[in-house]
């Protein structure tokens, strides 16, 4: 099609004007980061590296615990907020990867190679299983709400199965699965060093590790979702039929983001297992499966930074309330979720920033 003289009078740099209007400060903070040279979320994460100077060791350890879960939340945001896939399977991959790490390291020791090998094994296991499950779902024509049902069923199967592995016959190598009691005493991650002893990644070191990983994962995810892949994914979310009619093989994109998001769930599982030296089937139960959904719904399905903040904040809140009894924490979580769904379906944090934006007259 040859170019033709423009019939309309609109100036061609209308687009440029539009872009300029977008660089308002609040939009920069929570909007599409990584479009400009400065990404505030990465800066925030960078600032957190200095927190050990202010917080106590216990505080840092607690913060590290909260950060561990952000990967699962980011993964769910990518799948659900961008891809429109509500997977209840995050905790399944969480548990699988955690157990994989435990089994690997209990059997193969605590050298850098063994522990990082455990991490790699857990992640690879997630990729493979998510690919298989995803293939069955997306290439098998399972759509919409049934994706949720199937992934929830998988999670429950795993939980039910693991819960009855208490007997001594349930062991892989020297690692007993232990049913409801869970698996424990697996080694921490270590880094090789030139000194005689390898560097143990515990306490503050572990905190730095998780923070660095978060920065990396955030960067990669942001880039991915801002790219043409991300745009295609969003079109599939908005109108899968129309996307198909534009020549897009929607199954491929859905599978890809499902594997990506689920593996991030596995990463959380591995880090959780490392943090506490412990993993149980209850981290795969119905209640546990609800948690990432609550955080992502609150943080705003499509806002990665919102999701990170919501996860850390709400986990922290649960911890505080758990002192009184975990029931109170869960009731509050439930109430927050209900409020978010009814009043601020876009997410609590995006709604707050929108109101703030109006307040400061963007």
State how far the Cα of 179 lies from the Cα of 76, in Å rounded to an integer.
Answer: 27
Backbone angles phi, psi at 175, to 5 degrees: -100, 110
Output the smallest distance, CB 252 to other proteins, in A.
10
Contacts of 260 (CB under 8 A, 6+ apart): 75, 78, 79, 224
Output the smallest distance, CB 352 to other proteins, in A.
19
Output the smallest distance, CB 256 to other proteins, in A.
15
Furthest C-alpha separation in the chain: 80
Binding residue (CB under 8 A) for other proteins from 120, 124, 161, 208: 161
**86 dihedral zone (left: phi>0; alpha: psi -120 to 50; beta):** beta
Position 85 contacts other proteins (CB under 8 A):
no
Contact positions with other proteins (CB under 8 A) in 9-38: 10, 12, 14-15, 18
Position 62 contacts other proteins (CB under 8 A):
no
State how far the Cα of 210 lies from the Cα of 212, in Å rounded to an integer.
Answer: 5
Position 8 contacts other proteins (CB under 8 A):
yes
Position 164 contacts other proteins (CB under 8 A):
yes
State how far the Cα of 97 lies from the Cα of 90, in Å rounded to an integer.
Answer: 11
Backbone angles phi, psi at 191, to 5 degrees: -110, 140
Residue with smaller CB distance to other proteins, 208 or 328: 328
Binding residue (CB under 8 A) for other proteins from 44, 290, 313, 352: 290
Determine the 3-state secondary structure of 87 from DSSP.
coil
Residue with smaller CB distance to other proteins, 115 or 303: 303
Determine the 3-state secondary structure of 200 from DSSP.
strand
Closest CA to 75 of 218, 283, 211, 254: 218
Q: At what angle do helices 228-238 and 250-276 cross, to 10 degrees?
A: 110
State how far the Cα of 294 lies from the Cα of 339, in Å rounded to an integer.
Answer: 11
Position 53 contacts other proteins (CB under 8 A):
no
Residue with smaller CB distance to other proteins, 105 or 178: 178
State how far the Cα of 335 lies from the Cα of 349, in Å rounded to an integer.
Answer: 16
Position 163 contacts other proteins (CB under 8 A):
yes
Site string for other proteins, 210-249 (x = CB under 8 A): ------------------x--xx-xx-xxx-xxxxxxxxx
Residue with smaller CB distance to other proteins, 14 or 197: 14
Residues that bind other proteins (CB under 8 A): 1-4, 6-8, 10, 12, 14-15, 18, 86, 136, 140-146, 148-150, 153-154, 156-157, 160-161, 163-164, 228, 231-232, 234-235, 237-239, 241-250, 286-287, 290, 293-294, 297, 325, 327-328, 330-331, 333-335, 337-338, 341-342, 345
């Amino acid at each position: 099609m040859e170019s033709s003289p423009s019939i309309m009078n609109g100036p061609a740099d209308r687009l440029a004007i539009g872009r300029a209007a977008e660089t308002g400060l609040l939009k920069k903070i929570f909007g599409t980061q990584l479009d400009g040279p400065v990404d505030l979320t990465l800066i925030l994460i960078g600032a957190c590296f200095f927190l050990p100077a202010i917080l106590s060791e216990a505080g840092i350890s607690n913060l590290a615990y909260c950060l561990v879960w952000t990967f699962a939340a980011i993964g769910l945001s990518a799948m659900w907020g961008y891809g429109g896939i509500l997977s209840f399977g995050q905790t399944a991959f969480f548990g699988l990867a955690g157990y994989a790490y435990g089994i690997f390291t209990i059997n193969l020791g605590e050298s850098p190679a063994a522990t990082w090998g455990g991490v790699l094994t857990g992640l690879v296991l997630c990729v493979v299983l998510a690919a298989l499950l995803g293939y069955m779902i997306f290439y098998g024509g399972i759509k919409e709400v049934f994706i949720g049902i199937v992934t929830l069923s998988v999670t429950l199967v795993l939980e039910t199965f693991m819960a009855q592995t208490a007997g001594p016959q349930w062991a892989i190598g020297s690692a007993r699965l232990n049913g409801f009691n869970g698996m424990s005493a697996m080694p921490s991650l270590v880094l090789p060093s030139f000194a005689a002893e390898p560097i143990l990644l515990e306490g503050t070191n572990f905190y730095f590790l998780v923070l660095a990983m978060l920065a990396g994962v955030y960067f990669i995810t942001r880039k991915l979702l801002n790219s043409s892949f991300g745009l295609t994914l969003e079109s599939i979310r908005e109108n899968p039929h129309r996307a198909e009619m534009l020549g897009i093989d929607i199954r491929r994109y859905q599978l890809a983001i499902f594997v990506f998001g689920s593996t991030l769930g596995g990463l959380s599982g591995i880090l959780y297992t490392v943090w506490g030296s412990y993993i149980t089937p209850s981290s795969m139960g119905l209640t546990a499966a609800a948690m990432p959904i609550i955080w992502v719904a609150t943080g705003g399905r499509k806002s990665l930074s919102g999701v990170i903040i919501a996860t850390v904040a709400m986990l922290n809140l649960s911890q505080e309330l758990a002192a009184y009894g975990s029931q109170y924490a869960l009731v509050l979580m439930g109430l927050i979720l209900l409020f978010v769904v009814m009043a601020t379906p876009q997410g609590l944090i995006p709604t707050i920033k929108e109101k703030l934006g109006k307040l400061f007259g963007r």
